[in-house]
Amino acid sequence: MNPLPRNPAPAPDFAELYGRAPEGEWAAPGRVNLIGEHTDYNLGFVLPIALPQTVRVEAARRDDGLLRVWSAQGRGPVAELRVADLVPGSVPDWTAYPAGVVWALREAGHEVGGADLRLDSDVPSGAGLSSSAALECAVATAYADLHGLGLAASDLALLAQRAENAFVGVPCGIMDQMASMCCRPGAALFLDSRDLSTRQVPVDLAGAGLALLVLDTRVKHDLGDGAYAALRAGCERAAELLGLPALRSLQPVGLAAALAGLPAELAPLVRHVVTENARVEAAVAHLDAGRLAALGPILTAGHASLRDDFRISCPETDLAVDAAVAAGALGARMTGGGFGGSVIALVDAAEAERIAAEVTAAFRSAGYAEPRTLTAVPAEGARRLR
Ligand code: GLA
Residue-wise pLDDT tens digits, 226-242: 899 999 999 999 999 99
Q: Is the CB of 40 under 6 A from ligand 1?
A: yes
**What pLDDT does 9 receive?**
64
Atom of ligand 1 nearest to the CA of 33: 12
Q: Is the CB of 337 under 6 A from ligand 1?
A: yes
Q: Domain residue spans in the chain?
A: 14-200, 204-376
- The pLDDT tens digits of the residues spanning 325-360 come to 999 999 999 999 999 999 999 999 999 999 999 999
For residue 353, report the distance from its CA to the centre of ligand 1, in Å: 29
The arithmetic mean of pLDDT across residues 256-266, rounded, is: 98
Q: Name the closest-CA residue to atom 8, ligand 1.
A: 172
Query: Among 52, 55, 31, 53, which residue's Cα sits nearest to residue 118?
Result: 55
**What pLDDT does 64 receive?**
98
**What pLDDT does 8 receive?**
60
pLDDT above 80 for 221:
no
Q: Is the CB of 176 under 6 A from ligand 1?
A: yes
For residue 34, report the distance from its CA to the centre of ligand 1, in Å: 12
The arithmetic mean of pLDDT across residues 297-316, rounded, is: 98
CATH number for the domain whose boundaries are 14-200: 3.30.230.10
pTM reported for the whole predicted model: 0.96
For residue 24, report the distance from its CA to the centre of ligand 1, in Å: 30
Q: Name the closest-CA residue to atom 2, ligand 1.
A: 172
Cα angle: 173, vertex 178, 181; to 5 degrees:
145
User: Exposed (0-12), middle (13-18) or buried (19+): which is 136, by Cβ within 10 Å?
Assistant: buried
**What pLDDT does 151 receive?**
98
Q: Is the CB of 37 under 6 A from ligand 1?
A: yes
130/373 Cα distance (integer angstroms): 16
**Residue pair 352/138 in contact by the 8 Å Cβ criterion:** no
- The pLDDT tens digits of the residues spanning 28-58 come to 999 999 999 999 999 999 999 999 999 999 9
Cα angle: 261, vertex 267, 271; to 5 degrees:
115
- The pLDDT tens digits of the residues spanning 99-136 come to 999 999 999 999 999 999 999 999 999 899 999 999 99
Respond yes or no: is residue 204 known to be catalytic.
no
Q: Which of 40, 116, 145, 176 is catalytic?
A: 176
Statement: 204-376 belongs to CATH 3.30.70.890: yes
**What pLDDT does 223 receive?**
65
For residue 56, report the distance from its CA to the centre of ligand 1, in Å: 22
- The pLDDT tens digits of the residues spanning 135-171 come to 999 999 999 999 999 999 999 999 999 999 999 999 9
Query: Among 343, 336, 351, which residue's Cα sits nearest to residue 322?
Result: 343
- Could you tell me the CA-to-CA distances from 266 to 237, 252, 259, 274 in Å, in that order? 8, 16, 8, 13
Tell me the CA end-to-end span of the chain in Å, nearest whole number.
Answer: 30
Atom of ligand 1 nearest to the CA of 228: 11
Q: Name the closest-CA residue to atom 11, ligand 1.
A: 337
Would you place residue 209 in the very low, low, confident or very high pLDDT band (cuts 50, 70, 90)?
Answer: very high
Q: Is the CB of 122 under 6 A from ligand 1?
A: no
Atom of ligand 1 nearest to the CA of 36: 12
For residue 385, report the distance from its CA to the centre of ligand 1, in Å: 27
For residue 175, report the distance from its CA to the centre of ligand 1, in Å: 6
3-state secondary structure the chain: CCCCCCCCCCCCCHHHHHCCCCCEEEEEEEEEECCCCCCHHHCCEECEEEEEEEEEEEEEECCCCEEEEEECCCCCCCEEEEHHHCCCCCCCCCCHHHHHHHHHHHHCCCCCCCEEEEEEECCCCCCCCCHHHHHHHHHHHHHHHHCCCCCCHHHHHHHHHHHHHHHHCCCCCCHHHHHHHHCCCCEEEEEECCCCEEEEEECCCHHHCEEEEEEECCCCCCHHHCHHHHHHHHHHHHHHHCCCCCHHHCCHHHHHHHHHCCCCCCHHHHHHHHHHHHHHHHHHHHHHCCCHHHHHHHHHHHHHHHHHHHCCCCHHHHHHHHHHHHCCCCEEEEECCCCCCEEEEEEEHHHHHHHHHHHHHHHHHHCCCCCEEEEECCECCCEECC
Q: Is the CB of 336 under 6 A from ligand 1?
A: yes
Would you place residue 59 in the very low, low, confident or very high pLDDT band (cuts 50, 70, 90)?
Answer: very high
Q: Name the closest-CA residue to atom 3, ligand 1.
A: 173
Q: Tell me what the pLDDT averaged over the chain comes to.
A: 96
Q: Is the CB of 302 under 6 A from ligand 1?
A: no
49/207 Cα distance (integer angstroms): 17
299/346 Cα distance (integer angstroms): 8
165/162 Cα distance (integer angstroms): 5
Atom of ligand 1 nearest to the CA of 337: 11
Torsion of CA 72, 78, 82, 83, to 10 degrees: 20
For residue 251, report the distance from its CA to the centre of ligand 1, in Å: 22
Please choose from 32, 34, 38 the residue to mutate so as to test ligand 1's pocket, defined by most ligand atoms within 8 A of CB: 38
pLDDT above 60 for 1:
no
In the chain, what is the greatest distance between 2 CA atoms, to the nearest angstrom? 66
Would you place residue 2 in the very low, low, confident or very high pLDDT band (cuts 50, 70, 90)?
Answer: very low
CB atoms within 10 A of CB 385: 11
Listing from the earlier edge strand, what are the strands of the sheet with 342-348?
331-335, 342-348, 210-216, 372-376
